Amino acid sequence: MNVTGTQPMDTPNDQYDSPWKRAVENYFSEFMEFYFPDAHAEIDWSKEHVFLDQELQAVVQDAELGKRFVDKLVRVNVLNGDEKWIYVHVEVQGTKQAEFAKRLFVYNYRIFDRYDRPVASLAVLADTHKNWKPTSYGFTVLGCKLSLEFPVAKLTDYEERLDELLESDNAFGWITAAHILTQKTRKQHQERYEAKLRLVRILYQHRWDKQRIIDLLYIVDWLMQLPDWLNSQVWQELETIEEKEKMEYITSIERLGMVKGRVEGQYSLLKRLLERRFGLLPEWVSEKLKSAKSKDLEAWADAILTAPTLEAVFNKSDVS
């Protein structure tokens, strides 16, 4: 289907952090198996792994070293060795940052200092700079040497393997392909529409269970944002696929839930950015955020970059 036409071409801003966070939480074992197979083989997956988001925030709250894309602290059991359980600190980094390796170094020793347990720091680099691949940080002074070396998975290394990724039974093969195609189709509406349809069709061909299909559709819908008129065409095509294959994975209620979830993610991110720049938010801002539509949240997120005041973000000159 050709998607050219006279409709407005205001593509929403791509937001990678929320869908990646959801994917890591839902499919952590597959995340480890896909990007860090050696580490995956040492973990006892018969035991429950525990995400420690609040604990991580307490450890690093006063050590902000650049914008974090996604980071997770997970307690896992290991198969061998004296330690029955350890900590895994995962960072998915979406932009090239000079301080990235230092941040992993700082977080690693802070986590160790707090819990007195071994800490494995692992990094997924989801940026577009092919030659940026930090793997260590440290220093030597007066005969004392301190360093951290950490495994890295670089998503640009997978760009020539899209067909292989899409055929993988591991959720992160498909997610990696979705991320790469999202980056390659930025501000290219027809190309992104076609890429999104391709991903949806292949997702259904996998014949995974319903909840897995819903989870991954949620992720791709959040990753590959399109203007509403184009997104509607994607959903129409999805209905055609389900009718042809005689399956019904996504009901209208579930579809509304996906849209609602995406808006809630935008709301949480924007609120956090506003508080970081302007401090405690007044009541009128909270009310505007709670009642906002997706396109409003996107516009305000753009305005944060240049607006000199909180009122200017919302283009509001008369505030009571």
Other C-beta atoms lying within 10 Å of the C-beta of residue 146: 11
Tell whether the model's pLDDT for residue 123 goes beyond 80.
Answer: yes
* pLDDT on residue 292: 77
Contact indicator for 123, 108 with CB cutoff of 8 Å: no
Give the mean model confidence (pLDDT) for residues 60-81.
74
Confidence band, pLDDT 50/70/90 cuts, at residue 258: low
Give the mean model confidence (pLDDT) for residues 157-166.
95
192 versus 301: which is more confidently predicted?
A: 192
Confidence band, pLDDT 50/70/90 cuts, at residue 173: very high
Tell whether the model's pLDDT for residue 240 goes beyond 90.
Answer: no
Angstrom distance (rounded) from CA 203 to CA 216: 8
**Which of 204, 240, 243, 207 has its CA nearest to residue 220?**
204
Least confident interval from 8-12, 151-155, 184-188, 279-283 = 8-12
* pLDDT on residue 7: 35
Angstrom distance (rounded) from CA 94 to CA 107: 18
* pLDDT on residue 2: 35
Q: What is the DSSP letter of 120?
A: E
192 versus 80: which is more confidently predicted?
A: 192
Contact indicator for 234, 200 with CB cutoff of 8 Å: yes
Give the mean model confidence (pLDDT) for residues 127-140.
95
Least confident interval from 51-60, 162-171, 208-217, 290-299 = 290-299
Contact indicator for 259, 215 with CB cutoff of 8 Å: no
Crossing angle of helices 210-223 and 189-205, rounded to 10°: 170
Contact indicator for 270, 289 with CB cutoff of 8 Å: yes
Distance of CA 251 to the CA centre of its chain: 25
The two tokens of residue 280 are 């405690």
Contact indicator for 72, 90 with CB cutoff of 8 Å: yes
Tell whether the model's pLDDT for residue 255 goes beyond 60.
Answer: no
Task: Select the highest-mean-pLDDT range: 32-46, 66-80, 228-242, 274-288.
Answer: 32-46
Mind giving me the DSSP string for 88-112? EEEEEE-S--TTHHHHHHHHHHHHH
Question: Which residues make Cβ contacts (< 8 Å) with residue 11, sequence separation at least 6?
Answer: 187, 189, 192, 225, 226, 227
User: Average per-residue pLDDT in the chain?
Assistant: 82
Which residue reads 């670089």 in tokens? 154
Tell whether the model's pLDDT for residue 37 goes beyond 50.
Answer: yes
Mind giving me the DSSP string for 157-215? GGGGGHHHHHH-SSHHHHHHHHHHHHHHTTT-HHHHHHHHHHHHHHHHHTT--HHHHHH
Give the mean model confidence (pLDDT) for residues 139-156.
96
